[in-house]
Amino acid sequence: MSSTATVVGGGPAGLMAAEVLAAAGLAVTVYEHMPSVGRKLLLAGRSGLNITHNEPIDDLLARYGRAAQHLSLAIHRFGPNELRSWCDSLGEQTFVGSTGQVFPTSLRATPLLRAWLVRLASAGVSIEVGCRWLGWPTSPDGAVDAWRSQFGRADGSTIDVISDVTVLALGGGSWPRVGSDGGWVAAFRRAGVEVNELRAANCGVRIDWTATFVDRFAGVPLKNIAVTVAGRTVRGDAMVTSGGIEGAPVYAHSAAIRDAIDGAGRCMVMVDLHPDISMASLRDRLEHRRPKDSLGSSLRRTIGLTPAAISLLREATGNRLPRDPAELAELVKAVPLVIAEMMPIERAISSAGGVALAELDEAFMLRRLPGTFVAGEMIDWEAPTGGYLLQASFSTAVAAANGALDWLGRRP
Ligand SMILES: Cc1cc2nc3c(=O)[nH]c(=O)nc-3n(C[C@H](O)[C@H](O)[C@H](O)COP(=O)(O)OP(=O)(O)OC[C@H]3O[C@@H](n4cnc5c(N)ncnc54)[C@H](O)[C@@H]3O)c2cc1C
């Protein structure tokens, strides 16, 4: 009789683990608590599915910071090239965008997921939706029975599933509406597994704008700006929202901003509204203000600031714009925004925290619960946007599934 595998979580990591395990001949069942699988993947596809990043593997690995070493083997074995070939094999060719980001040609996740589910069905993978993983049963003396997974159904009934190996791919804590709600953390902690708190990552920051600013500019982009936090500068387009600022150059700093708020209760973010023009050149241009121009008109006419950018200067200074061209140029190059709060995890693109790396062996098996592997965003790694989140989710899934196969081969 073939060995059995339980995979929990029908996101990219869970489905990839299921594919690898089924290809090796295991009888695989994927359990998912939502009514369908891949909901966050589909959400990611709505804004252009950035599936990985095309850059030298060491540069790519560096994006994972302190987790890079633990992810290294997984990413070397199933990296961007392997992921792109896998997309090809599902009929979704990929292309490299101008900044190295890799997208499927359709830019969406729907065709990929549809083809993938057909492949999984033909490999014999069964998918049980509406089954919420509750944890492992424990004996009265507190011992965890890692062979069993307990699931709850919507009608209140529970089932116990026994299998030869288990891969848990339950996701992080962002966008709980699409399924990854971090509810698994308590069960892991009860079982003695260290889990670092799930925190918002790749998210915007909260700023208390004036009502006038929100009315006029919520939803308006601040194009081609440079955002500096703790000496590091990232360029790109940001977006004013009713509660703050979002966008790639802000997301890129979310870990640093979070750490600063943790330490000092606030973080100073500097925005350069004209990163391509030097301070001296801005000052020279501002000196040519026409006497009858208001300060706002002269900022628009002499240095081409948009109405949103001009109002941002007013927001940052309590509407006390300096009249001196040198001071004004200085402000345009470094608009100070004091941030006391990140956007909540519910609005974040990903989460930091998760199963502590020390709990995992090199194949992502829980050291305390042999035979149980974890994969994807539920592991404590963090990376910026740019395709790195999906890459690590897929890579760790392949590694965990292969680890499970190795482990089964070694079982007495
Ligand atoms: C708006 C948005 C855009 C994004 N865009 C990109 C992008 O372009 N590129 C990129 O690299 N990344 C992107 N991401 C991040 C990426 O989608 C995630 O990193 C990735 O989906 C993580 O995969 P995963 O399989 O680990 O977790 P998930 O995709 O979260 O899947 C986990 C699954 O487990 C299920 N589950 C959770 N708890 C239970 C339970 N108790 N019982 C049963 N099932 C459970 C969930 O319902 C879910 O289906 C984006 C995220 C968001 C929110």
What percentage of the chain exceeds 70 in pLDDT? Answer: 99
Mean pLDDT, residues 81-91 taken together:
98
pLDDT of residue 408: 94
Q: What is the signed CA dihedral for 314, 317, 321, 322, rounded to 10 degrees?
A: -160
Once rounded to an integer, what is the mean pLDDT over residues 271-297? 92
H or E element, residue 83: helix 80-89
Report which ligand 1 atom has the smallest distance to the Cα of 175: 53
Q: What is the mean pLDDT of the chain?
A: 95
- Residue found under tokens 């606030």: 266
What integer is the mean pLDDT of 13-40? 97
Task: Among 135-144, 234-243, 256-265, 394-403, name the one with the lowest average pLDDT.
Answer: 135-144
pLDDT for 292 equals: 82
Tens digit of pLDDT for each residue in 138-162? 888 878 888 899 999 999 999 999 9
| pTM for this entry | 0.93
CA dist 302 and 149 (Å) reads: 66
- pLDDT of residue 209 exceeding 80: yes
Tell me what pLDDT residue 289 has.
81
Atom number in ligand 1 closest to CA 182: 38
Q: Please state, in angstroms and as integers, the Cα–Cα distance from residue 251 to each residue in 38, 115, 352, following that order.
A: 23, 31, 13
Distance of CA 28 to the CA centre of its chain: 27
Q: Mean pLDDT across the stretch 65-77?
A: 97
Q: Nearest residue CA, atom 6 of ligand 1?
A: 44
The first and second tokens of residue 372, run together, are: 């149980």
- Three-state secondary-structure class, residue 22: helix
The alpha-helical segments, DSSP class H, found in 167-317 are 185-190, 211-217, 248-251, 254-264, 279-286, 295-303, 307-317
Measured in Å, residue 66 CA sits from the centre of ligand 1 at 22
Ligand 1 neighbours, Cβ below 6 Å, are: 8-14, 31-34, 37, 39-41, 43-44, 47, 49-50, 132-133, 169-171, 174-175, 179-180, 183-184, 349-350, 376-377, 387-390, 393
Residue with tokens 């040519």: 288
Reported as a pLDDT band with limits 50, 70 and 90, residue 411 is: very low
What is the per-residue pLDDT across 166-181, written as a single tens digit (0 to 9) for each? 999 999 999 999 999 9
* Centroid of ligand 1 to alpha carbon of 402 (angstroms): 21
Q: Which of 43, 180, 239 to mutate to test the pocket of ligand 1 (most atoms within 8 A of CB)?
A: 180
Centroid of ligand 1 to alpha carbon of 234 (angstroms):
26
- Pick the more confident residue, 71 or 298: 71
Pairing of strands 341-342, 205-206: antiparallel
Nearest-CA residue for ligand 1 atom 8 is: 50
Query: Contact 380/234 with Cβ under 8 angstroms?
Result: no
Contact 201, 255 (CB under 8 A): yes
Q: Is the pLDDT of residue 223 over 80?
A: yes
Q: List b or e across 309-324, with b for residues whose CB sees 16 or more CB atoms inside 10 angstroms.
A: bbbbbbbbeeeebeee
DSSP 8-state secondary structure symbol assigned to residue 360: B
pLDDT surpasses 80 at 111: yes
What is the 3 state secondary structure string of 184-231? CHHHHHHCCCCEEEEEEECCCEECCCCHHHHHHHCCCEEEEEEEEECC
- At residue 291 the predicted structure's pLDDT band, cuts being 50, 70 and 90, is confident
Is the pLDDT confidence value at 412 over 70?
Answer: no
pLDDT (0 to 100) of residue 281: 96
Distance 317 CA to ligand 1 centre (A): 40
| pLDDT band at residue 353 under the 50/70/90 scheme | very high
